[in-house]
Amino acid sequence: MRILMIGHKYVPSREGGVEIVVENLATRMASLGNEVLIFNRKRKDYPQINEYKNCKVENIFTINKKSLDAVVYAFFATLKARKLIKKKQIDVVHFHAEGPCLFLNLLPKKRKTKIVVTIHGLDWQRGKWGGFASWILKRAEKKAVKYADEIIVLSKNNQEYFKNKYQRKTTYIPNGVEKAYLHEAEIIKNEYNLEKDSYILFLARIVPEKGLDYLIEAWKKVRNEITTNKKLVIAGGDSHSTEYYQSIIEKVKNDDSIILTGFVEGQKLQELYSNAYLYVLPSDIEGMPMSLLEALSYGNVCLVSNIPENTEVINENCFVFEKGNIDRLRHQLKKIINLKIKTHEDMIIPYTWEEVTNKTLDIYRGK
């Protein structure tokens, strides 16, 4: 099959969950003999490439500005897809996330090409977008419902949403995760003086909907109530939320119990997962959190907000608290620190990328 991927920022990248999903699907599909084309965004801060792991890559024009980047890319990517469809050069166009679906109505109505959309979460709910941007994202969601041949959702909660609001049938295919291998604390020991079980880890994009404000406030209360040598490590970069990221820096700058690492990848990322005492994800909104899946694959004990997208994937060794309830988060953190739990014993892989790839290919084939 000839497959086109649209909607991410850049491959290869760990900038967000969409990028991880596109990279894993595209490269695995290519390894199975499919012709895969990836539309990266053409930006100054992204190296321009033409090939990646047997996938062809085209760099699509955009404007490097928060308010215009995604919509400009989506417009030109959709126009390019339209040309390929008209020339019968593509069998499947797979859009990722709601925003890139804004121009689906521009695609040919009479076509043999299948249009597939993966909903990575209800993007219009995310705190980083203002009122007008949220309205645009809701329009894009409706375009996906109207024009997509197939819609894939990552959570049962989102599946119910599309059924109840639009009476639209969707297919539930969760994100995958690779088998993890534990690493001793080397880089993180040298850079941050971190050792096994010496810290609590938050690892995600630094954006409002991840609930980091709750965690910082709850952590400071815990530190006032009990004596502990543990640190809170906040790992992640901003995603169109520079002002919010700066506000987090201001909140933690005078607290030596909090370490802000910035964006991490490679061995440093692996070491952070491998040696954390507890992984915390206090999100208000998720699609299906890649960082939580990865934390589970490393055997982390996890503490998460009780939104369905989180509770669908955790196991019996994990803890929950009421979304947005700082006092309950404080209570759970304090309890878990005092429990002296054993970590990294049960390395859970809920879904493999091979399973996810095969299920997605079945959607392409109409099975």
Which residues share a beta bridge with 60? 41
Tell how strand 114-119 and strand 2-6 pair up.
unpaired
Letter for the amino acid at 43? R
* Euclidean distance between CA atoms 41 and 53, whole angstroms: 18
For each of the domains in the chain, give its residue range(s) and CATH number, in order of start: 2-176+351-365 (3.40.50.2000), 187-339 (3.40.50.2000)
Per-residue pLDDT of the chain (367 residues; tens, 9 = 90+): 999 999 999 999 988 889 999 999 999 999 999 999 999 999 888 889 999 999 999 999 999 877 788 899 999 999 999 999 999 999 999 999 999 999 999 999 889 999 999 999 887 776 555 677 888 889 999 999 999 999 999 999 999 999 999 999 999 999 999 989 999 999 999 999 999 999 999 999 899 999 999 999 999 999 999 999 999 999 998 766 688 999 999 999 989 999 999 999 999 999 999 999 999 999 998 888 899 999 999 999 999 999 999 998 888 889 999 999 999 999 999 999 999 888 888 888 888 999 999 999 999 999 7
**Residue 203 is inside which H or E element, if any?**
strand 199-203
Burial call 132-162: b when 16+ CB within 10 Å, e when fewer = ebeebbeebbbbbbebbebbbbbbebbbebb
Give the predicted TM-score (pTM) of the model: 0.86
**Residue 35 is inside which H or E element, if any?**
strand 35-42
